[in-house]
Structure 1
Amino acid sequence: MSQGKILITGAARGLGLGMTRYFLQHNYQVLGLDIDKYALTELEESRLPGLQLVHLDVADEQAVQTLSRLVERQFGRLTGIINNAAVSHPFHEPLRHLNLAHWHHTLAANLTGPLLISKYLADLLMPGSAIINITSTWAHQSEPHCEAYVAAKGGLVALTHALANSLGPDIRVNAISPGRVDITDYQPGKSAPPPPGPADHRQHPVGRVGEVEDIATLARFLLSAKAGFITGQEFILDGGISKRMSYVNNPAAG
């Protein structure tokens, strides 16, 4: 028996692919969107039951508007949306050389995209449904030369509580901010990043980096009626690493 019909953006690669497979395994019907034609083709060839795929740039307003009509005709009412599509590489050239085209592209995919998906598809959500925005711990902490990515993810955290107020009470909106997640098994057509090593695991208070299922399990809960009193919130899933002091030679100040 189907648990519902959900839409996942950025569904063909990385965390999005992992969540797509997770929700299909838990008897959801999934409409997956992605801009990567190669990854979409690979996923389509898997012929996974319950999965429909659409090639789409989430930052293209006309395409998203057309998608909403397609969903209404062919997919029916939705029970959830996961805004996951993103330009995921956080770094760019030094600030003084920052190319504004990169800035605009990153904000378009990571912030404008979730806005457009919410704007045009929220009316297709059944009352009591939910939207989840996949943000990042980069919204709260930075390294040099990551202004575009950090600004977009920080904006998405703020957009989450704004949407929660605009779309409530019928629709809930929450954010999940993952830390380091191992996606080495979900990178079709590209050389996968190296798997996390012992040092990567040890630096987390829980003793390991995140797994796709950690994120997907929380997303599934937030989409469910059991989370009916939760909206406008951000959930940080980083194994506790953001709560660990990172000063070098930090004196034990009382």
Structure 2
Amino acid sequence: MKQGKILITGVAQGLGLGMCRYFLQHDYQVLGVDIDKDALTRLDETGLPSLQLVHLDVSEETSVQALSRLIERQFGQLDGIINNAALSQPHNEPLAGLSLSHWQRVLAVNLTGPMLISKHMAPLMTPGAAIINIASTRAHQSEPDSEAYAAAKGGLIALTHAMAISLGPDVRVNAISPGWIDVSRLQPNPQEPAPSLHDHGQHPAGRVGDAEDVAALARFLLSDEAGFITGQEYIIDGGMSKRMIYPQGPAAD
């Protein structure tokens, strides 16, 4: 598979950190951006020569424009982009009390951010390059009180096929929608316990996913082998979205 220069947003923790490590292990040059200065510092202390880090809020257009100028000077061109930066907490206040500021901030980071990154970086991409948007299975199924996150991720899937048409044939655009991905070992202070045996066992694949599962799919979608794939969404959830679940068994028709 072709290695090259890629941009990963939200690179300093969680899924982004896992993908960063994966691509570095596969000899890619990675430019990583994140809004969390402390997490960026921890990652920068690893001293990896193929990794360059930038502090950035992807929802601020002037900052994204400055990033594009930096890339043009130091990288020249990009072979791929992974739009991963997001406010990853899916829950919000109950709808009756959902604040407009929370709604707007989630959409700004999770949906406007990928658009701005793509808008300003696409002119720097090599012919045959690809953009991958990290969406979520929550674009298709929900828990209560998750309107902002679900709307942003649903919009990101629509943005994916819109950009695929606008940027083709030079740049391909696809989305990956992860289900339950365990990133607890990638967090310095994980907020949630690691998945239990029951959590793993409820997945048809027999386990909860990890960052490498998503990264391996992203690597394929960035490669020349995926040259006929654009505008698509790939759900990677261990089969959970296909499993029919009734607490008391299926109702009779």
Q: What is the aligned partner in structure 2 of residue 75 from structure 1?
A: 75
Q: What is the rounded CA distance, in whole Å, between the counterparts of 2:76 and 2:187 in structure 1?
A: 30
Q: What fraction of aligned residue pairs are identical, expressed as a percent?
A: 69
Q: What is the aligned partner in structure 1 of residue 239 from structure 2?
A: 240
TM-score normalized by structure 1? 0.97
Q: What is the aligned partner in structure 2 of residue 40 from structure 1?
A: 40
Q: Deviations over 1:96-133 (max 9, x none)?
A: 00011000000000000000000000011100000000
Q: RMSD of aligned C-alpha atoms?
A: 1.1
2:71 is the counterpart of 1:53: no
TM-score normalized by structure 2? 0.97
Shift of 1:148: 0.1
Q: What is the aligned partner in structure 2 of residue 227 from structure 1?
A: 226
Shift of 1:253: 4.8
2:215 is the counterpart of 1:216: yes
Q: What is the rounded CA distance, in whole Å, between the counterparts of 1:3 and 1:218 in structure 2?
A: 14
Shift of 1:247: 1.9
Please state whether the residue corresponding to 2:39 is helix, strand or coil: helix
Whichever residue aligns with residue 163 of structure 1, its letter is: M
Q: What is the rounded CA distance, in whole Å, between the counterparts of 1:253 and 1:91 in structure 2?
A: 33
Q: What is the rounded CA distance, in whole Å, between the counterparts of 2:23 and 2:210 in structure 1?
A: 15
Q: What is the rounded CA distance, in whole Å, between the counterparts of 2:3 and 2:100 in structure 1?
A: 43
Structure 2 runs not aligned, ≥5 long: none
Shift of 1:252: 6.5
Shift of 1:207: 0.6
Structure 1 runs not aligned, ≥5 long: none
Q: What is the rounded CA distance, in whole Å, between the counterparts of 1:49 and 1:181 in structure 2?
A: 28
Please state whether the residue corresponding to 1:6 is helix, strand or coil: strand
Q: What is the rounded CA distance, in whole Å, between the counterparts of 1:103 and 1:192 in structure 2?
A: 23
Q: What is the rounded CA distance, in whole Å, between the counterparts of 2:48 and 2:167 in structure 1?
A: 32
Q: Deviations over 1:140-196 (max 9, x none)?
A: 0001100000000000000000000000000000000000001012113x3352110
Please state whether the residue corresponding to 1:23 is helix, strand or coil: helix
Q: What is the aligned partner in structure 1 of residue 31 from structure 2?
A: 31
